[in-house]
Structure 1
């Protein structure tokens, strides 16, 4: 793949250098430990009003700036809202896959690890440059989904939420840190619209059973039969697109999938 770096003494016109493909980031430069403590202070920001223009510049006008002041941006919002949220998105495999499957849907990855978030962001920016008009609907933000999720989404804004291969937190005393709990499900039900879907998958059977138990017990979620999932274009990528899913596949491990539909409010 061609380099985008202009070296000293390069005689090519500047515009031809800029036209070269952007290099995709190399994952080996962004490695970080697999999990982070969600209860630690990670110095994250939780805005009272979310400005989406830095994340989706083709869909949101920059706030607190004169119209058209940002190159490549828009002068007014497209009217779209983020609809898909990949919680703990890791290295962004699902986001990248779904961006072209659902080109009209805005989707956001949420990742707490600094280097991993930086990697996904750089990859999305490179893909946007290399494929004009594509991947403008995908972005990532560094945040802790267990804290202040409603700061980012309105009531019933989301149509899909993904919880793919989350940290199992094996020790019983750490089960409170699992991403699916009765308390957190109340928040997910708030931001997920009726008819929306929660996707869960794990290679750890104990965690799978934990998630199924709590989702089964929640009055606002109902499990979707496996036969019905065959017609869902997102399911194939939920199973196979993530780095963790590919690792499980290479090791010939099991994958336990469970999807739930958000019911109407009583």
Structure 2
């Protein structure tokens, strides 16, 4: 089944200003004792469910602002019989904090933000997902040594994400160069497409200080 949706969604429009309430996690995951990986802007979710299948000792949560993609991703996970993964329709910029606050203490251990919408026009760049407010929320809930993984095929976007996290005293970049490979071992659809064209991908990892 092919789900056709708009490629770009404006997170600042009125329809996305009400935060999505967190679900009852007891009804979502088979076990709440596992560490949780949050993927912000998961698109169709293939990266998330492939990670869930490969790492059954982790729970995975994908956030996406396009609801048809979320609905289909959850259907696929049910078809695959995965009990350690879930997808939520939400605007990450106003829903991440209530979601993280509702999780069991200490569960949130890792977050990835991969190939976010670049919003090239300068007047639209305020729509980009990695804003100082999001960095502050992640710093609030990510424990010491928690991991932030960033990647983009647009250098300006990757650099802006790195700069946002580097500006926070709560995060420390691991190394000073772009990572040559994806350390998670599972590629997103966009990553596969980019590498297939032999175009560069700009990657960085931060840890919570």
Common topology (TM > 0.5): yes
Q: Which residue of structure 2 lines up, in the alignment, with residue 39 of structure 1?
A: 12
Query: Which residues of 2 match residues 223-262 of structure 1 at below 5 A?
Result: 223-225=173-175, 234=184, 236-237=185-186, 241-262=187-208
Structure-1 separation of matches of 2:136 and 2:191:
27
Are 1:159 and 2:109 counterparts? yes
Structure-2 separation of matches of 1:230 and 1:80:
33
* TM-score, scaled to structure 2: 0.87
Q: Which residue of structure 2 lines up, in the alignment, with residue 150 of structure 1?
A: 97
Structure-1 separation of matches of 2:137 and 2:10:
20
- Residue 250 of structure 1 deviates from its aligned partner by 2.4
Q: Which residue of structure 1 lines up, in the alignment, with residue 168 of structure 2?
A: 218
Are 1:90 and 2:36 counterparts? no
Are 1:117 and 2:70 counterparts? yes
Residues 53-75 of structure 1 show CA distances to partners (whole Å, capped at 9, x for unaligned) of 4432x33xxxxxxxxxxxxxxxx
Question: Which protein is bigger by CA-based radius of gyration?
Answer: 1
Structure-1 separation of matches of 2:33 and 2:4:
33
Gaps of 5+ in 1: 1-25, 60-78, 129-134
8 A Cα contact 1:44 1:142, kept in partner: no
Structure-2 separation of matches of 1:182 and 1:124:
32
Q: CA RMSD in A?
A: 2.4
**Greater share of helix:** 2
**Local SS of the residue matching 1:146:** helix
**Local SS of the residue matching 1:215:** helix
Gaps of 5+ in 2: none
**Local SS of the residue matching 1:109:** strand
Q: Which residue of structure 2 lines up, in the alignment, with residue 168 of structure 1?
A: 118
8 A Cα contact 2:35 2:107, kept in partner: yes
- Residue 101 of structure 1 deviates from its aligned partner by 3.0
- Residue 148 of structure 1 deviates from its aligned partner by 3.1
**Local SS of the residue matching 1:147:** helix
Paired residue total:
204
Change (3 A) 1:175 1:123: same
8 A Cα contact 1:96 1:138, kept in partner: yes
Structure-1 separation of matches of 2:17 and 2:150:
28
Structure-1 separation of matches of 2:156 and 2:182:
26
